[in-house]
């Protein structure tokens, strides 16, 4: 799914730090946790919270510390441990919405779509006018190839928050998979327009628009969109790769070679760039360069 990172951190570090400071732990332990947090020594924090949760004097206190541990584990990228901590906390006392959402995001990262859907559905049912949980349910629909269901949910999200760029971007992807490229293009154009207004625009909406326009052979428009994507993230491998394909289709082989090489330099795992570059080298009579590119393609493909 061309959406960028599958899950974003559900709780900001500053919020976690405030939770540590307001926890029921003794003052000296809170201070130790704050120092460890400032040093990003998450393992030490997790060890302390785990021990204190096991020794807690009441189920409510144990639940509080396990939920906090789950949030720290998530920030640390330890998704299995985060999910376990949240499950243990929830079994003792119902999680708050922010922790339940973080649990759902951990489950998304773990690829457990069913469990993530259960938690997000619970949140969405409790907040029917909240677009965030419905948005993530739509993403799960898309990943499970339930494209019509994803479209229906995303249209509801857009009705609830028409200024949010991401749902339009996701809607474009889902419509494209349903074989509705013109409708997808309109959704991508709206996503790109809203994305431009953000303080830190994402490279994904213009990339997704550019990739669609490339397939539709609207090459000049595709180039413009893909160059916009690269303005936001000059190291975005797939934008370099798709721009190279657009330039090659326009007969601008030298520029295309540069973009294929840029894609490879930023992420050698994009093996198609080696193959395409090899074909271009061969067409221009650069036999040894072509053979080297094809050999690298075969080597990486086998891996």
- Mean predicted confidence (pLDDT) in 236-263: 97
CA angle 4, 9, 12 (to 5 degrees): 140
What is the spatial distance between Cα 246 and Cα 253, in angstroms, rounded to a whole number? 10
pLDDT digit string, tens, across residues 134-186: 999 999 999 999 999 999 999 999 999 999 999 999 999 999 999 999 999 99
From residue 90, give the alpha-carbon distance in Å to each of 63, 94, 157.
7, 5, 28
Question: What band does 10 get if pLDDT is binned at 50, 70 and 90?
Answer: low
61 CB-near residues (< 8 Å, 6+ apart): 24
What is the spatial distance between Cα 262 and Cα 234, in angstroms, rounded to a whole number? 10
From residue 189, give the alpha-carbon distance in Å to each of 88, 193, 271.
44, 6, 29
pLDDT digit string, tens, across residues 46-80: 899 988 988 888 899 999 999 999 999 999 999 99
What is the spatial distance between Cα 107 and Cα 18, in angstroms, rounded to a whole number? 25
Long-range Cβ pairs for the range 265-268 (8 Å, 24+): 266/235, 266/236, 266/237, 266/240, 267/237, 268/300
State if pTM tops 0.85: yes
| Phi–psi pair at 148, nearest 5 degrees | -65, -40
Question: What band does 223 get if pLDDT is binned at 50, 70 and 90?
Answer: very high
Q: What is the DSSP string of 232-289?
A: H-TT-HHHHHHHHHHHHHTT-HHHHHHHHHHHHHH-TT-HHHHHHHHHHHHHTT-HHH
């Amino acid at each position: 799914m061309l959406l960028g990172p599958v899950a974003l951190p559900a709780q900001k570090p500053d919020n976690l730090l405030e939770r540590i400071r307001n926890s029921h732990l003794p003052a000296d332990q809170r201070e130790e946790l704050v120092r460890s947090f400032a040093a990003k020594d998450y393992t030490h924090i997790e060890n302390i919270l785990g021990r204190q949760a096991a020794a807690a004097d009441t189920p409510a206190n144990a639940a509080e510390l396990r939920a906090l541990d789950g949030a720290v584990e998530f920030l640390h990228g330890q998704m299995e441990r985060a999910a376990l901590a949240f499950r243990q906390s929830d079994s003792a006392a119902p999680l708050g919405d922010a922790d339940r959402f973080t649990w759902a995001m951990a489950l998304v990262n773990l690829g457990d779509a069913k469990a993530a859907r259960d938690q997000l559905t619970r949140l969405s049912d409790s907040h029917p006018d909240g677009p965030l949980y419905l948005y993530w349910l739509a993403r799960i629909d898309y990943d499970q190839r339930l494209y019509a269901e994803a479209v229906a949910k995303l249209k509801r999200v857009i009705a609830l928050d028409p200024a949010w760029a991401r749902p339009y971007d996701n809607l474009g992807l889902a419509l494209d998979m349903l074989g509705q490229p013109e409708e997808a293009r309109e959704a991508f154009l709206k996503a790109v327009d809203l994305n431009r207004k953000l303080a830190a625009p994402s490279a994904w909406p213009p990339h997704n628009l550019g990739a669609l326009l490339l397939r539709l052979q609207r090459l000049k428009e595709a180039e413009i969109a893909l160059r916009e994507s690269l303005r936001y993230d000059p190291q975005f491998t797939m934008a370099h790769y798709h721009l190279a394909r657009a330039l090659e289709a326009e007969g601008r082989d030298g520029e295309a070679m540069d973009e294929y090489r840029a894609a490879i330099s930023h992420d050698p795992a994009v093996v198609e760039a080696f193959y395409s570059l090899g074909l271009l080298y061969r067409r221009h009579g650069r036999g040894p360069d072509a053979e080297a590119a094809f050999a690298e393609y075969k080597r990486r493909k086998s891996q």
